[in-house]
């Protein structure tokens, strides 16, 4: 199979790094998901091993890490049917300060309802993490709850909950979802006391400028005097932007145009992650346009301003996940892409590569040129993926969850 994929890539104009690439062994840990909307890793049971958390359509579940590749993963239900349907996103955060993660979940997922608020909740374990957790409401006035992540945005060493909805209030299909208010990007700071009370959470608005924001990621940088600060990379119809905070509030700066070939339809950018392909070379990867068919990297220019755009793959339909990790241990990040849909000849697709997981290796040390290896060709309609070292062998593994395939798979990194 690896040989056939290498031949296919060569015929399509790709070099492959099959000879040097890590080998991956597939393990399927669930085939009964309704819609595996999101997957993260977190040490749920406190045994110092990353467990897997999946937000399914009406449930939140976790899989207990058995400690070694190939062993069985026990599945436990954290929450079932308590949120407004559908569940769509999840993020771990230690809210009560006990050193173990709670979970923030976004629900009431209705992508075209731009009038009614979605739902944000946080989940707290009891004495036994394998039993159902308690649910507490968070403030949420934004419609189309879509993505939530937790990281420190103000440099105080404590993470905040950052929420980026998909669409702005009042936007409509008639106006290509840009005729309403811009997307309201907000942060919630963990209250010092009684986080169980919704009224104790305060909302900070980071931005109200962008339209149709599909995803976001942390971008660290140094502030005044070298103080660690946080940038937030956001993809939208408007392109690729970075939000930065300071004493005078938050600024929004464009660093990438995205794909603007279809101004009256899906445009801009969709998924996003930052990476490091050498000691001196930063890179950002996106899927473009919105729910698009291009894997794109951006590299900074010497003059600053808008970064240089590089299309590195167009042989896909509906890319839906992006990650960076050093998979082969050489000190440089590889790019991992999840593809949600199979090619559709009726829509003009001439390529044969199917939905699944692809890995790209930077070959120029700058982020403009890449080789590709396909490690999953059809088995998972990737809705989301993540990367973590699950078995403590210093080799990051890939975890992907499927939409129409309804499954969760681990791709164990076997090394070269």
Share of the chain above pLDDT 90, in %: 86
Superfamily of domain 23-414: Integrin alpha, N-terminal (2.130.10.130)
Q: What does the pLDDT look like over 70-105, one tens digit per residue?
A: 889 999 999 999 999 999 999 999 999 999 999 999
Q: Output the pLDDT for position 7.
A: 33
Q: What does the pLDDT look like over 321-350, one tens digit per residue?
A: 999 999 999 999 999 999 999 999 999 999
Q: What does the pLDDT look like over 106-124, one tens digit per residue?
A: 999 999 999 999 999 999 9
Q: Are 376 and 33 in contact (CB under 8 A)?
A: no
The mean pLDDT value for 150-173 works out to 94
Q: What does the pLDDT look like over 348-398, one tens digit per residue?
A: 999 999 999 999 999 999 999 999 999 999 999 999 999 999 999 999 999
Does the CA dihedral 162-163-166-167 come out positive or negative? Answer: negative
Q: What does the pLDDT look like over 299-308, one tens digit per residue?
A: 998 777 899 9
Q: Are 213 and 164 in contact (CB under 8 A)?
A: yes
The mean pLDDT value for 252-262 works out to 96
Does the structure show a pLDDT above 90 at 11? no
Q: Are 266 and 319 in contact (CB under 8 A)?
A: no
Q: Which of 204, 8, 188 is nearest to 91 (CA)?
A: 188
Does the structure show a pLDDT above 80 at 157? yes
Q: Output the CA angle 239-243-249, nearest 5 degrees.
A: 140
Structure tokens given for 153: 């945005």
Model confidence at 193, pLDDT cuts 50, 70, 90, reads very high
Q: Where are the domains of the chain?
A: 23-414
Mean pLDDT (the chain, rounded): 92
Entry pTM: 0.93
> What is the three-state SS of 241-294?
EEEEEECCEEEEEEEECCECCCCCCCCECCCEEEEECCCCCEEEEEEECCCCCE
Does the structure show a pLDDT above 70 at 3? no
The mean pLDDT value for 215-232 works out to 69
- Give the burial string for 239-276 (b: 16+ CB within 10 Å, else e): bbbbbbbeeeebebebbbbbbeeeeeebbbbbbbbbbb
The mean pLDDT value for 123-139 works out to 97
Three-state DSSP at 409 gives: strand
Model confidence at 412, pLDDT cuts 50, 70, 90, reads very high
Q: Output the pLDDT for position 229.
A: 55
């Amino acid at each position: 199979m690896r040989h056939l994929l290498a031949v296919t890539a060569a015929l399509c104009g790709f070099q492959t790094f099959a000879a040097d690439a890590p080998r991956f062994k597939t393990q399927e840990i669930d085939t009964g998901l309704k819609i595996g909307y999101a997957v993260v890793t977190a040490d749920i049971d406190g045994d110092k091993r990353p467990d897997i958390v999946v937000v399914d359509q009406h449930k939140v579940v976790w899989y207990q890490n058995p400690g070694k590749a190939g062993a069985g993963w026990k599945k436990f239900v954290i929450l079932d049917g308590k949120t407004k349907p559908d569940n769509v996103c999840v993020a771990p955060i230690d809210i009560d300060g006990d050193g173990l993660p709670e979970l923030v979940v976004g629900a009431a997922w209705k992508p075209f309802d731009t009038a009614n608020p979605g739902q944000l909740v946080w989940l707290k374990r009891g004495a036994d993490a394998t039993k159902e957790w308690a649910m507490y409401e968070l403030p949420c006035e934004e419609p189309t709850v879509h993505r939530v992540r937790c990281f420190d945005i103000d440099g105080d060493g404590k993470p905040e909950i950052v929420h980026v909805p998909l669409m702005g209030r009042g936007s409509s299909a008639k106006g290509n979802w840009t005729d309403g208010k811009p997307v309201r990007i907000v942060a919630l700071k963990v209250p010092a006391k009684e986080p169980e009370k919704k009224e104790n959470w305060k909302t900070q608005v980071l931005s109200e400028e962008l339209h149709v924001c599909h995803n976001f990621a942390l971008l660290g940088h140094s502030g005044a005097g070298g103080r660690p600060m946080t940038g937030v990379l956001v993809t939208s119809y408007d392109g690729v932007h970075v939000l930065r905070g300071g004493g005078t509030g938050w600024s929004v700066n464009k660093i990438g145009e995205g794909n603007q070939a279809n101004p009256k339809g899906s445009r801009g950018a969709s998924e996003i992650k930052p990476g490091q392909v050498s000691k001196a070379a930063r890179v950002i990867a996106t899927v473009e346009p919105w729910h698009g068919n291009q894997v794109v990297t951006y590299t900074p220019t010497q003059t600053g301003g808008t970064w240089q755009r590089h299309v590195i793959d167009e042989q896909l339909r509906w890319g839906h996940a992006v990650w960076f990790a050093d998979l082969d241990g050489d000190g440089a990040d590889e790019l991992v892409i999840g593809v949600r849909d199979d090619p559709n000849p009726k829509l003009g697709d001439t390529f044969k590569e199917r939905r699944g997981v692809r890995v790209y290796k930077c070959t120029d040390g700058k982020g403009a040129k890449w080789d590709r290896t396909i490690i999953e060709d059809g088995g998972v309609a990737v809705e989301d993926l993540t990367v973590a070292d699950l078995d403590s062998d210093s080799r990051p593994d890939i975890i992907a969850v499927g939409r129409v395939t309804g499954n969760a798979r681990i791709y164990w990194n076997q090394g070269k």
